[in-house]
Structure 1
């Protein structure tokens, strides 16, 4: 699992321009999965159902994970729309985003080079409007400890910005906490050291 944080879009953006009587409307939204990327494409297609083309590209996961990429020319000549859209998205260093470029044709042919420039350029301009936030990669740990150690453990959890998800108080205290992946080793070491190795720390298995 890659534990480094990456950037995602905070809000959707729209960029519109007219090129040789064709109107190009670029919409970009945050889509954290392939299903949500396709749902956004469908939503824009319904919104602009009278347009001749709704071309799209998405990066539905980490920016560098090409297994989560997709694109479509939606009736434009092959390679003139989907690929330039995806090239802009994948080169942006931002993850979990989908761009749909709607074209209302004005009857003037743009040629393949003109189309590549129009579709890629629209996405490039829309990307400049995006405000990003950092997506942190988190995981869960299970802590098993004596009651006497709870207050010290909670101070450590706070120090590493770990959030308590569940707690069970029986003969021992069991806490399920969520924290950033890159804090796991330091927190684990700290809890074990401060409890004199009496606390048990283990990863929570995700089903």
Structure 2
């Protein structure tokens, strides 16, 4: 297995924030928060819809994982003309050094149409405002791996993983031992070399 070399840590939202932007009587409420998977994103969007049930649109974008190599990214125009809402929000996220983040922009229509260009600018600005007001913190980037070793090698491998700050170590005992672990990315190369030296199989989940 060849390991990549992404950043060993990255910025994430420390908490959820909201910002409000108004233009031509339309009100854009942007909510930004921390997510790590699609389930988080679904719940974050559902809460926004619950808090603002009478809004015309709930447009959104997210990316989780390190910002320069995210594990997943998605967006939705939520009824706005194609490409005028979700894409501008995602574009803002992709130019910020923040991972594990979602932005939902809730729009209350003010009766005056903004046009496609106006919508793109409005959603971009709303997302930008939310991120400017965001408090961030640093997170160690991790990867989930499984190490397949002989029973006689288990304690040696566990020692390596503990020294490398491996978290959530779990064992599955069959013909061999499968040890699953969440490992800091900057420790992956070292673990790979140690496993290779003893002929131990390792794979990322």
Task: Give the TM-score normalised by structure 2.
Answer: 0.71
Correspondence 1:79 to 2:91: no
Q: CA deviation at 1:83?
A: 0.9
Alpha-carbon distance between aligned partners in 2 of 1:37 and 1:52, rounded to the nearest angstrom:
20
Report the structure number with the largest CA radius of gyration. Answer: 1
Give the match for residue 132 of structure 1: 137
Match of 1:123 among 102, 124, 127: 127
Alpha-carbon distance between aligned partners in 2 of 1:164 and 1:58, rounded to the nearest angstrom:
26
Quickly say closer, same or farther: Cα 1:162–1:64, change in 2 above 3 A.
closer
Structure 1 residue ranges without an equivalent (≥5): 168-175, 191-196
Match of 2:61 among 53, 57, 80: 57
On the 8 A contact 1:71/1:83 being kept in 2, the answer is yes
Question: How many residues get paired?
Answer: 192
SS in 2 for 1:92: coil
SS in 2 for 1:108: coil
Q: CA deviation at 1:93?
A: 2.8
Give the match for residue 101 of structure 2: 97
Quickly say closer, same or farther: Cα 1:120–1:160, change in 2 above 3 A.
same
Deviates more, 1:158-167 or 1:7-16: 158-167
Give the match for residue 172 of structure 1: none
SS in 2 for 1:32: coil
Match of 1:14 among 11, 14, 18: 18
SS in 1 for 2:11: strand
Q: CA deviation at 1:77?
A: 1.7
On the 8 A contact 2:70/2:99 being kept in 1, the answer is no
Task: Give the TM-score normalised by structure 1.
Answer: 0.70
Q: CA deviation at 1:204?
A: 6.6
Alpha-carbon distance between aligned partners in 2 of 1:121 and 1:86, rounded to the nearest angstrom:
12
Alpha-carbon distance between aligned partners in 2 of 1:49 and 1:38, rounded to the nearest angstrom:
16
4+ residue runs over 6 A deviation: 140-144, 156-159, 187-190, 203-207
SS in 2 for 1:75: coil
C-alpha root-mean-square deviation of aligned residues, in Å?
3.7
Give the match for residue 35 of structure 2: 31
Alpha-carbon distance between aligned partners in 1 of 2:166 and 2:74, rounded to the nearest angstrom:
35
